[in-house]
Structure 1
Amino acid sequence: MKKKLPFMLTILALMLTLAACGSNNDASGTGGSSEAGGETESKLSGSVLAVGSTAMQPLVEQVGQKFMADDKYKEVTVQVQGGGSGTGLTQVSEGQSDIGNSDVFGEEKLDADKAKELVDHQVAVVAMTAVVNPGVSVDDLTKEQLVDIFTGKVTNWKDLGGEDQKIVIVNRPASSGTRATFEKFALGESKLADLEGSIQEDSSGTVRKLVAETPGAIGYLALSYLDDSVKTVKYAGVEATVENVEKGEYPVWAYQHMYTKGEPSETVKAFLDYMLSPEVQESDVVELGYIPVSGMQVTRDAEGNVTQK
C-alpha cells in the first residue's frame, strides 16, 4: 500500500493539471471565436438630446434619423429640439441637454466662466440672407439700407426704389443665433429694434411662412430654409451663394456649433463623429444648403475677424 501511494498521488496531480489546461483552453477558445466574429464590440445604447438653433435643426434632425437607422446605433435615440442658440447654450451649460446647437460662439451668449466649460464641435457653416415677399420688386440692399429698414428709419418700399407699399418686418427673438449673426455681419454694430408693428417668431420655418404670405414683408433666413416661396435679396450686390461664402466675399455667415459640457460621453461622441463623417459632410450637409467646414477658404473667430486659410 505504501508503494502505491506515491503512484496514486502522481496520477491525481496529473489529472488536476489536465483539467486545468482543458478549462483554460475552453475559455481561450470562446474569447477567440467571439473576437473573430466581431461580437466583443458591444452596440452603443442610450439617448442624445440636442437643443438650440433652428437654423441647424433640419441638418441635425436628418442626420439623427440616419444615425438611428444604422445597425451600429439602433439602440440609441436622438432627439432634436429648437428654441434658438441661446436656449441651446443655456441648456447644455446647465446639464439639461447633451448638445447645445448654436449659430454663435458660446462666449457670445454665456458668461465667460460657463463658456469655458463647453467644448466646441464645428460641424458646418451656414449663411444667412435677407428675404422678402415675392411681390416686393427690390432685390438688392446695401448695409445702410438694411439698417434703415430694421431700425424703422425707412418704412415704405418706395423709398428704396420699390412700389408704394408698407414694409412689414418679420424678426427673430433676442435668443436667436440667426438674429445675432444677421445683426453682427449684415448690420454691423446696429442692433435690430423690436419695432411696434413688426412680427417676432421663434422658428425659422414660421418666418419663411409669414414672409411668403405677408405683402411687403422682409425677414432673414439661413440658406438651409430657402425655397421658392420667398425671394432672396443680394447684399450690396453680392449673392448669398456657397461659392461666395467659401471665398469670403459674402460676409453674413456663421459656423454651426454643437457644444457639449466637457468631453462628450461615448454615445454623444459617436453621434458627433457621425456628423463629421464624409458620408454626412458630402451628402446631407450639401443637400440641405449648408457648407462643409473643409470647403471654407477663410476662418472666423468669436470676435468676427476673418482670416484667409
Structure 2
Amino acid sequence: MFKAKSKIALVSTTLIALLALVGCGQTAAPTPTTPNATTTVDKKTISAAGSTALQPLVKLAADDFMGKNAGVQVNLSGGGSMTGLNNVASGAVDIGNSDVVVTPELKDKGLIDHEVAVAPFLIIVNKDVTVDNLTKAQLSDIFTGKITNWKDVGGKDAKISIIGRAKSSGTRATIVKIILDGKEFTDTAAAQDSTGNLLTGVAQTPGAIGYIDAAYLKDTVKAIKYNGVAYSADTVASGQYPIYAIEHMYTKGEATGTVKAFLDYIVSPEFQSKSVEKSGFIAISKIKK
C-alpha cells in the first residue's frame, strides 16, 4: 500500500511541475525537421520565353526543378531571342531567354543578365551534299548569295538552298556576327521560325544548308567542319571552334523568390555538371570571356 501511494505521489508531483512550466511560458524544444527543397521558393508559376536554341536546356532544368519543388510550374515558350527580350522587358514573362546580349533600345528597361551556358552552333547540310568542310569565306559567300552552286566549293553540280532563321532569332544574329562579319543573308534564303523547323527543312530539301545549335543535331542531317575544325566541347573551349554564343536568361530587375531559385538551380554545380554537356551545351565556367 505504501509503494502504491508513493507512486501516486510521484506522478502528481511530476504533473504539477509540468503545469508550472507551462504557466511560466516554457515549452520543450521542438524536434528538428529535415529542410524541404520547397522552402526556397514561393510556389508561384514561372513564365519564360525566347531563344529556341536555349529551349532544350531550359526545359530540362524546368523538369528537374518542378520535380524537386512540388507545386511549382514553369511555362516555357520559344519565339526567338528578340521575342524573349521584348517580352521580359514589357513584363509579359518572368524570364527572357536569349542567345544575344540585350539590344540598345532595351538598355534602359532594367534587364538583369544571367549567363547560364554556352551554345555551340553547327553548320548543317542535307545528306546528299558531298562537301564535308567549308571555310569562313566560303560560308560567307554562300549565305550572302555570291556562291549558289555546290560545285563552286568542291561539291557536285547542284543548287544550294539556304534555310535560315527569322530576323528575331539570336542564332541568326550569332551567324551574322561570327561568319558574315555583319553582312546580311541573301533575300533568297528561307526563314524558319524555330530551330526545329530549320532542321526539318534542311533534312527534307536536296542541296540545303543551314545552322542549328548542337543540342538539336540529329542523324537526319550532316554537320560539317568549319575551317577544317569539327565541333566538340574541347574545340570550343580551346578557341579552335568559334561558332558559339553565351546563353542568357534575362529578368526585369533582380530575380527574387521562385524565379531566383530556378536561375540558381540552372547555374548550380549539380545541374551544370550533370546535364549541360549531355544536352549539347557547354558549362558556362569552361569558357574564358
Fold equivalence (TM over 0.5): yes
- What CA distance in whole angstroms lies between the structure 1 residues aligned with 2:24 and 2:260? 39
Q: Which residue matches 1:217?
A: 208
TM-score under structure 1 length normalisation? 0.82
Q: Which residue matches 2:30?
A: 33
CA shift digits 1:253-278 (9 cap, x unpaired)? 11110111111121100000110112
Q: Which residue matches 1:190?
A: 183
Is the Cα–Cα contact under 8 Å of residues 117 and 284 in structure 2 kept in the other structure?
Answer: yes
- Are the structure 2 counterparts of residues 177 and 23 from structure 1 closer, same or farther at C-alpha, using a change threshold of 3 Å? farther
- What CA distance in whole angstroms lies between the structure 1 residues aligned with 2:253 and 2:247? 18
Q: Which residue matches 1:140?
A: 133
- What CA distance in whole angstroms lies between the structure 1 residues aligned with 2:111 and 2:25? 48
- What CA distance in whole angstroms lies between the structure 2 residues aligned with 1:42 and 1:278? 20
Is the Cα–Cα contact under 8 Å of residues 163 and 210 in structure 2 kept in the other structure?
Answer: yes
- Are the structure 2 counterparts of residues 127 and 39 from structure 1 closer, same or farther at C-alpha, using a change threshold of 3 Å? closer
Is the Cα–Cα contact under 8 Å of residues 235 and 241 in structure 2 kept in the other structure?
Answer: yes
- What CA distance in whole angstroms lies between the structure 2 residues aligned with 1:194 and 1:111? 28
Partner amino acid for 2:49? V
Task: Answer yes or no: is 1:249 the counterpart of 2:244.
Answer: no
Task: Answer yes or no: is 1:237 the counterpart of 2:235.
Answer: no
Q: Which residue matches 1:14?
A: none
CA shift digits 1:164-197 (9 cap, x unpaired)? 11111101011100000111012212222332xx
Task: Answer yes or no: is 1:74 the counterpart of 2:67.
Answer: no
Q: Which residue matches 1:60?
A: 58
Q: Which residue matches 1:302?
A: none
Partner amino acid for 1:121? H
Task: Answer yes or no: is 1:86 the counterpart of 2:79.
Answer: no
Task: Answer yes or no: is 1:289 the counterpart of 2:280.
Answer: yes
- What CA distance in whole angstroms lies between the structure 1 residues aligned with 2:171 and 2:47? 21
Gapped runs of 5+ residues in structure 1?
1-17, 300-309
Partner amino acid for 2:103? E
Q: Which residue matches 2:16?
A: none
Cα root mean square deviation, aligned: 2.0
- What CA distance in whole angstroms lies between the structure 2 residues aligned with 1:22 and 1:255? 63
CA shift digits 1:210-251 (9 cap, x unpaired)? 111110000001111112111112111122221111011211
Identity across aligned pairs (percent)? 47
3-state SS of 2:30 partner: helix
TM-score under structure 2 length normalisation? 0.88
Partner amino acid for 1:287? K
Q: Which residue matches 1:120?
A: 113
Query: How much has 1:127 moved relative to structure 2?
Result: 1.0
- What CA distance in whole angstroms lies between the structure 1 residues aligned with 2:235 and 2:39? 45
Is the Cα–Cα contact under 8 Å of residues 186 and 251 in structure 1 kept in the other structure?
Answer: no
Give the total of aligned pairs.
Answer: 270
Q: Residue 147 of structure 2 is aligned with which of 133, 150, 154?
A: 154
Partner amino acid for 1:277? S
3-state SS of 1:130 partner: strand
- What CA distance in whole angstroms lies between the structure 2 residues aligned with 1:239 and 1:185? 16
Is the Cα–Cα contact under 8 Å of residues 43 and 75 in structure 1 kept in the other structure?
Answer: no
CA shift digits 1:137-173 (9 cap, x unpaired)? 1111111211111111111111111111111110101
Query: How much has 1:38 moved relative to structure 2?
Result: 4.4
- What CA distance in whole angstroms lies between the structure 1 residues aligned with 2:283 and 2:152? 39
Is the Cα–Cα contact under 8 Å of residues 160 and 208 in structure 2 kept in the other structure?
Answer: yes
- What CA distance in whole angstroms lies between the structure 2 residues aligned with 1:22 and 1:58? 60
Q: Which residue matches 2:194?
A: 203
Task: Answer yes or no: is 1:106 the counterpart of 2:99.
Answer: no
Query: How much has 1:112 moved relative to structure 2?
Result: 2.8
Q: Residue 169 of structure 1 is aligned with which of 162, 166, 181?
A: 162
Query: How much has 1:79 moved relative to structure 2?
Result: 1.0
